[in-house]
């Protein structure tokens, strides 16, 4: 894990994460870094949907499915996996450094 700015674990630096499209109340409070990584996953979901919708518009559902299953899906999953690792690293770091174990 790379060097992390310790200021990110100060309580005043915590951010809400876990927001959903319907703007329901966040489910947990996390550091800015963790929140940013979680936001990356939400943006990846949008990217997937936009890509699929564009392919479906151009080629139809069956061809869009085949194109997504091809090169796109493997690379999409690879990036998502790396971001998931960053989230786990950030949470682990914050659990080890914070004074209050509820702040991740």
Q: Mean pLDDT score of the chain, rounded to an integer?
A: 79
Does any domain span residue 69?
yes
Backbone angles phi, psi at 47, to 5 degrees: -60, -45
If one counts the domains in the chain, the total is: 1
Distance of CA 76 to the CA centre of its chain: 12
Average pLDDT over residues 67-75: 94
Does any domain span residue 104?
no
Domain containing 38 equals: 29-97
Residue of 84, 50, 87, 51 whose CA lies nearest to 70: 51
The β-bridge partners of 28 are: 17
pLDDT at position 11 = 41
Does any domain span residue 42?
yes
Does any domain span residue 83?
yes
pLDDT at position 81 = 96
Does any domain span residue 12?
no
Please state, for a pLDDT cut of 70, what percent of the chain lies above it: 66
């Amino acid at each position: 894990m790379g060097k992390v700015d310790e200021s990110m674990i100060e309580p005043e630096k915590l951010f809400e994460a876990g927001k959903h499209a319907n703007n329901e109340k966040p489910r947990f409070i996390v550091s800015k870094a963790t929140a940013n990584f979680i936001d990356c996953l939400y943006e990846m979901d949008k990217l997937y949907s936009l890509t699929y919708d564009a392919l479906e518009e151009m080629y139809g559902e069956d061809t869009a499915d085949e194109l997504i299953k091809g090169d796109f899906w493997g690379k999409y999953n690879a990036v998502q996996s790396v971001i998931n690792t960053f989230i786990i690293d950030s949470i682990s770091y914050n659990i080890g450094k914070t004074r209050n174990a509820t702040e991740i």
